Structure 1
Amino acid sequence: MANYVLVAGTWLGAWAWEEVAAPLRAAGHEVHPLTLSGLAERSGAPAGQRTHVRDIVAEVERLDLRDVVLVGHSYSGIPVGQAAERIGDRLTRAVFVDANVPVDGKSFSDAWPVEAEIAAHEGFWPPLTPADCAGQGLTEEQVTRFVKGVTPHPGATLTEPAELKAPLRELPATYVKCLLDGEDPGPVVNGLVESGHWTLVRMDTGHWPMFSQPAELALILAGAAGAAGAAGAAG
């Protein structure tokens, strides 16, 4: 059995994982959804991107977790990728769910130029509207739940650069590409998958599968832990 630490992307907190956590727990796993500083119930706490890396590492160490499957969705793939290398042999596998991945010296805003929007909203990236969720496989009820739960995202987390100590290919990792959000995971992930270091899984849904297909996502996460165990046994 694995210990899952689930970290959602921009605007979201631990609450976003409720429907994914339930089937994983029913299967006997420990599941620890994490709200990052400055979001959801932690709104108002000062936060930069490095703060979020520390949040994740601190949670793993506070709970003294082993056999960790560290899951990052969207933006949170950047701090999750850095935290994964920092927790060392506690890590079983990292899973990036339609996520950005860290590139040393680069920030989220290098790929998504959000600085002007952050400056116009007092240092925060404003949440999406229902119209922004169109075409992502969400029901009206799911869109309503999403929009009611989101909070403004601390801008510094999106503009601070990542700091990697080792190449990403050294992480045992699975990348989940949500096809309604585009079929191409990008050149960095493509290179890691093509080199044989990472596993690519596709989901026929949109960017927020924890809402649109939670049971299917839970199965993929359970499989990621199983794949890591099989690789360890083979080694």
Structure 2
Amino acid sequence: MAELVLVAGAWLGSWAWDEVVPELRKAGHGVHPLTLSGLADKQGTAAGQRTHVQDIVDEVERLDLREVVLVGHSYSGIPVGQAADRIGDRLARVVFVDANVPADGKSFVSGWPEGPAMEEAYGAEGSFWQPLPAEEFKGQDLSDEQIAYLVGRATPHPGPTLVEPAVLARPLGELPATFITCLLAGGEEPAPAVAELLTSEHWELVRMDTGHWPMFSRPRELARILNEAAGGPAAD
């Protein structure tokens, strides 16, 4: 079985995977939900994007993990994609959960209409991207209770992580990868950068009929997909 390192997106910590972890452990995998520096229980730690990449690499090396499946949700696809490039033959697969993907020399906000303003606002250490208000979670297949839980536990996201450029030593399309697109978040087809990567023979696309936070809205379905991506048996 594989060793899965789970990294949630902006404003979230390892707690975001609480309903997914037991399902994966029942399937026999090692499961390691990770909080990135500056978030959740690691608030108060200064962090840039390179810090987050190192967080992931350090976790793999500290635990001496092999057959690693790195899972990145939303923002965390950026550091996860870079970490996958750095852990060498420890890597079995990368799974991007409705995620941003890194491009060499580009940041999380590169290409956003508001990107230049965000770069100015979040470039300095000590700046933070504040969590979304509750109304932004509407229409994403979440109950009112789930939205309240998300909003109540979310923490400000370190600003510099959004504007530092990614560094890739080789094309991302060379890595074995699964991209999960959530249909309520962005429609039937993934973004153009992801669509291009999906032309690689090493990449596969999985669609989920849910919103952008499937670890809350569809945890068992997400766990099933992650299990299959990690080489576990397909569900009947």
CA contact (8 A) 2:94 2:176 kept: yes
Q: Which residue identity lines up with residue 102 of structure 1 in the other structure?
A: P
Q: 1:75-103 CA deviation, whole Å, 9 max, x = no partner?
A: 00000000001000101000000000000
> Shift of the alpha carbon at 1:118?
4.1
CA contact (8 A) 1:69 1:225 kept: yes
The corresponding residue for 1:173 is: 177
The corresponding residue for 1:159 is: 163
The corresponding residue for 2:44 is: 44
Q: Are 1:226 and 2:221 counterparts?
A: no
Q: Are 1:213 and 2:218 counterparts?
A: yes
189-198 vs 133-142, which moves further: 189-198
> Shift of the alpha carbon at 1:192?
1.7
Q: Aligned partners of 1:204, 1:111: CA distance in 2, in Å?
A: 27
Partner SS state of residue 108, structure 1: coil
> Shift of the alpha carbon at 1:175?
0.1
> Shift of the alpha carbon at 1:217?
0.2
Superposed, 1:8-19 pairs within 5 Å as 8-19=8-19
CA contact (8 A) 2:97 2:180 kept: yes
> Shift of the alpha carbon at 1:189?
1.2
Q: Are 1:68 and 2:68 counterparts?
A: yes
Q: Are 1:147 and 2:151 counterparts?
A: yes
Partner SS state of residue 144, structure 1: helix
Partner SS state of residue 92, structure 2: strand
Q: Percentage identity across aligned positions?
A: 66
> Shift of the alpha carbon at 1:225?
1.1
The corresponding residue for 1:35 is: 35
CA contact (8 A) 2:174 2:200 kept: no
CA contact (8 A) 1:117 1:125 kept: no
Structure showing the higher helix proportion among its residues: 1
Q: Aligned partners of 1:99, 1:12: CA distance in 2, in Å?
A: 14
Q: 1:152-172 CA deviation, whole Å, 9 max, x = no partner?
A: 000000000000000011100
TM-score normalized by the length of structure 2:
0.93
Unmatched runs of 5 consecutive residues or more in structure 1: 230-235
The corresponding residue for 2:108 is: 108
The corresponding residue for 2:205 is: 200
TM-score normalized by the length of structure 1:
0.93
Q: 1:16-40 CA deviation, whole Å, 9 max, x = no partner?
A: 0010111001111110000000000
Aligned CA RMSD, in angstroms, stands at: 1.9
110-119 vs 35-44, which moves further: 110-119
CA contact (8 A) 1:11 1:127 kept: yes
Partner SS state of residue 128, structure 1: coil
The corresponding residue for 1:233 is: none
Give the number of aligned pairs: 229
Q: 1:92-126 CA deviation, whole Å, 9 max, x = no partner?
A: 0000000000000000011442346648xx61100
Q: Aligned partners of 2:119, 2:109: CA distance in 1, in Å?
A: 7
Unmatched runs of 5 consecutive residues or more in structure 2: none
Q: Aligned partners of 2:11, 2:151: CA distance in 1, in Å?
A: 10
Q: Aligned partners of 2:197, 2:119: CA distance in 1, in Å?
A: 29
